[in-house]
Amino acid sequence: MRKPLIAGNWKMNTKLEEAERLVRDMLAELDSIGNVEKVLCPPFISLAAINKLIKGTSIELGAQNMYSEDKGAYTGEISPLMLIDLCDFVILGHSERRQYFAEIDEMINKKIGKALESGLKPILCVGESLEDNEAGRTEEKITSQVNAGLAGISPTSQLVIAYEPIWAIGTGKAATGKQANATISLIRSMLANTWNQETAKAVRILYGGSVTGSNIAEFIVEPDIDGALVGGASLKTDDFISIVRQTANLKAAR
Ligand code: PGA
């Protein structure tokens, strides 16, 4: 019912030439894998070139951030109007944006509303710190981030949520499939309560944090996990293709 989704978050990696090469290396094989939505999120400056490379394929693009206004005196920012011709998705509220660029829930909430209004599908990232996790505050943190991120937003299946525990990002120490599924089903029941059952069933919720070709299966077999937001491994052609292929096969087998 929910189409699985694998998104590659390239973060601040790849110059234009490297980005084009990476896409050329994985394009044909990724394109040939059905039953899973494949989204690449390269740096802003590569979006236009990659948009041309993926034309006519089943691969889609996402941005890693955007500002919540259409245009104006906002030096250094990128607007949804600039992205809409190039991308389908936009990652919002990634923990690195929250941590290093002082993004707070209210800003993220504005961006979510603006993305949806502009026709971009937001990938809202939420996740608890190691300290919160160890203190048993995971549920409380996730609940507050989801509620704040979605405040005033009308129910929509265009939304994607990525549960990314901060302690699992880039550390090689992924959550277990069971841990991730427990938090993701909590998020789904929150959506059912604040929105409605039907939309909650339709929204894709991903796991993110040290996902590789070696552990993707553990997440994909879980009933509430609809795919992954992949950082480091999305820069490695073979690993990323393997993640997408296993996702297609395992979800199709269910
Ligand atoms: P990682 O990053 O796969 O390198 O842990 C995931 C993310 O930050 O989206």
**Is the minimum distance from the CB of 231 to ligand 1 under 6 angstroms?**
yes
- Cα–Cα distances in Å, from 208 out to 23, 64, 124, 175, 229? 21, 14, 12, 9, 5
164 tagged catalytic: yes
169 CA closest ligand 1 atom index = 5
The reported pLDDT for the residue numbered 146 is 98
Share of the chain above pLDDT 90, in %: 98
Fold category of 5-252 in CATH? TIM Barrel (3.20.20)
pLDDT band at 148 (very low <50, low <70, confident <90, very high): very high
Nearest CA to ligand 1 atom 2: 231
Q: For the residues 106-125, what does the mean pLDDT come to?
A: 98
Distance, in Å, from the CA atom of 64 to the CA atom of 66, rounded to the nearest integer, reads 7
Share of the chain above pLDDT 70, in %: 100
CB 24 within 8 A of CB 59: no
Instruction: Please check the confidence at residue 1 and state whether its pLDDT lies above 90.
Output: no
pLDDT band at 152 (very low <50, low <70, confident <90, very high): very high
Nearest CA to ligand 1 atom 6: 231
Q: For the residues 240-249, what does the mean pLDDT come to?
A: 98
Q: What is the CA(232)–ligand 1 centre distance, in A?
A: 6
Instruction: Please check the confidence at residue 38 and state whether its pLDDT lies above 80.
Output: yes
**Is the minimum distance from the CB of 164 to ligand 1 under 6 angstroms?**
yes
Looking up tokens 């704040």 gives 148
Distance, in Å, from the CA atom of 57 to the CA atom of 31, rounded to the nearest integer, reads 6
Task: Record the pTM.
Answer: 0.98
pLDDT band at 254 (very low <50, low <70, confident <90, very high): confident
The reported pLDDT for the residue numbered 57 is 98
Active site residue: 60, 103, 164, 218, which one? 164
77 tagged catalytic: no
Which range, of 101-105, 196-200, 249-253, averages the lowest pLDDT? 249-253
125 CA closest ligand 1 atom index = 9
Predicted confidence (pLDDT) per residue in 211-235, tens digit: 999 999 999 999 999 999 999 999 9
